[in-house]
């Protein structure tokens, strides 16, 4: 069943024979973690919280205009891995990240890399909707303002409108621009957060269980939105719901206790998983 994974040659610190020999504790990944012309590549990523080894030797690509879903039981490290992709883990003092993660060929953990522009390129939507306690307009305009993306008020208005349109929120809030963003419903708040993220024109959007705090109707709206957004962005989404993963994603990665167990086409993962652990999880034997 196991497919031997060969990493691309020349990646620093990783032998040609495959990374699985590199760390004996980690399990080898089954499936196809790599794609042609990937937007983001991760090679030999290890994350430690103090002494705890939270992510073990993970290699994964995020391709152009695709949605990659990350599933797995609680505490498997999928959120931790997601937060490595825009260096949100930097804010945790005890967290240490090893390995190589690139965005369009640039090592994002390189010494010369500044996290501020990186996070503008790799946006993030969080589990709980977290609009700023400001007006709807200011919520969306904040990113373009601090990055200086708009030359004048007209341009800024335009960015705000297109972002809200892309997030499918424009029709609902176009007359409420000065109202506080925190006054919207949960689903609207989450779409506002998505609009805020895409207002700075990122290349990749990371979503950390974006629907877990929402009702089914709001969830389906967000899912439709994700489907549209993939025309323009690469999306990595962490989700607890396997149905959601199967609905929105093209590829699915299954994490288990810090290991990336299996990666593959979403349809294949949910119909004919190759690894026993994946099968146990999607058939509901644990989780």
Partner 1 sequence: MNNPSSQPNGLNPQGRRAIEIVNAGLARRYRKERRFRLYGISAILASLLFLSFLFGSIISKGYSAFQQTFIQLDIFFDPAILSQESLSTANYPGIVKQSLRQMFPEVKSRQDKRMLYRLVSSGASFQIRQMVLDSPEMIGQTLQVWVIADDDIDMLEKGHFDLEAPEGERRIKDIQLAWVDRLKKESRIEKRFNRILFTAGDSREPELAGILGAVAGSFYTLLVTLLLSFPIGIASAVYLEEFATQNRWTDLIEVNINNLAAVPSIVFGLLGLAVFLNFFGLPRSAPLVGGLVLTLMTLPTIIIASRASLQSVPPSIREAALGIGASKMQMVTHHVLPLALPGILTGTIIGMARALGESAPLLMIGMVAFIVDVPGGFTDPSTVLPVQIFLWADSPERAFVERTSAATIVLLAFLIIMNASAVYLRKKFERRW
Residues at the site binding partner 1, with contacts judged by CB under 8 A = 86, 88, 91, 93, 116-120, 123-126, 128, 130-133, 142-143, 146-147, 182, 193, 196-197, 199-200
CB of 201 to partner 1, least distance (A): 11
CB of 214 to partner 1, least distance (A): 15
Q: Write down the H helix ranges in the chain.
A: 78-84, 115-121, 136-147, 153-166, 170-173, 186-198, 216-229, 242-248, 266-271, 276-282
Straight-line distance from the first to the last Cα atom of the chain, in angstroms, rounded to the nearest whole number: 23
Residue nearer to partner 1 on the CB measure, 40 or 260: 40
Residue nearer to partner 1 on the CB measure, 49 or 132: 132
CB of 85 to partner 1, least distance (A): 12
The distance of Cα 202 from the centroid of its chain, to the nearest Å, equals 12
The residues pairing with 206 across neighbouring beta strands, listed in sequence order, are 124, 236
Residue nearer to partner 1 on the CB measure, 69 or 194: 194
CB of 132 to partner 1, least distance (A): 6
Residue nearer to partner 1 on the CB measure, 34 or 233: 233
109 class by beta-carbon count within 10 Å (0-12 exposed, 13-18 middle, 19+ buried): middle
CB of 29 to partner 1, least distance (A): 28
CA distance 208 to 80: 10
CB of 131 to partner 1, least distance (A): 7
Q: How far apart, in Å, are the Cα atoms of 94 and each of 55, 57, 176, 202, 236?
A: 14, 19, 42, 28, 25
Residue nearer to partner 1 on the CB measure, 124 or 167: 124
CB of 235 to partner 1, least distance (A): 15
Q: Comparing C-alpha atoms, which of 263, 278, 232 is closest to residue 58?
A: 263
CA angle in degrees (0–180, nearest 5) for 160-162-168: 105
Residue nearer to partner 1 on the CB measure, 134 or 274: 134
Residue nearer to partner 1 on the CB measure, 11 or 149: 149
CB of 3 to partner 1, least distance (A): 35
The residues pairing with 102 across neighbouring beta strands, listed in sequence order, are 41, 107
- Phi and psi at residue 108, in whole multiples of 5°? -75, -15
Instruction: Look up residue 40 and give its two tokens.
Output: 């983001």
Residue nearer to partner 1 on the CB measure, 59 or 70: 70
């Amino acid at each position: 069943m196991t497919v031997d994974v060969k990493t691309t040659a020349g990646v620093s610190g990783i032998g040609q024979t495959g990374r699985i020999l590199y760390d004996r504790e980690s399990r080898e990944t089954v499936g196809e973690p790599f794609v042609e012309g990937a937007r983001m590549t991760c090679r030999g990523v290890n994350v430690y919280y103090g002494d705890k080894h939270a992510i073990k030797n993970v290699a994964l690509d995020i391709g152009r205009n695709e949605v990659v879903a990350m599933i797995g039981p609680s505490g498997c490290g999928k959120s931790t891995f997601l937060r490595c992709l825009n260096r949100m883990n930097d804010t945790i003092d005890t967290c240490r990240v090893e390995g190589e993660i690139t965005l369009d060929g640039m090592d994002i953990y390189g010494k010369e890399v500044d996290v501020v522009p990186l996070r503008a390129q790799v946006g993030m939507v969080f589990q709980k909707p977290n609009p700023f306690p400001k007006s709807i307009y200011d919520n969306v305009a904040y990113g373009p303002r601090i990055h200086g993306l708009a030359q004048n008020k007209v341009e800024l208005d335009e960015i705000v409108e297109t972002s809200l349109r892309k997030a499918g929120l424009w029709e609902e809030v176009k007359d409420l621009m000065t109202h506080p963003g925190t006054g919207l419903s949960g689903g609207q708040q989450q779409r506002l957060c998505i609009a805020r993220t895409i207002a700075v024109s990122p290349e990749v959007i990371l979503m950390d269980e974006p629907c877990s705090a929402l009702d089914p109707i709001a969830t389906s709206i967000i899912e439709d939105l994700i489907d549209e957004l993939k025309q323009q962005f690469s999306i990595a989404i962490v989700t607890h719901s396997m149905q959601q993963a199967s609905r929105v994603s093209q590829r699915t990665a299954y994490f288990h206790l810090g290991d990336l167990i299996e990666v593959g086409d979403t349809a294949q993962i949910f119909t004919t998983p190759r690894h026993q652990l994946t099968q146990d999880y999607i058939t509901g034997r644990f989780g």
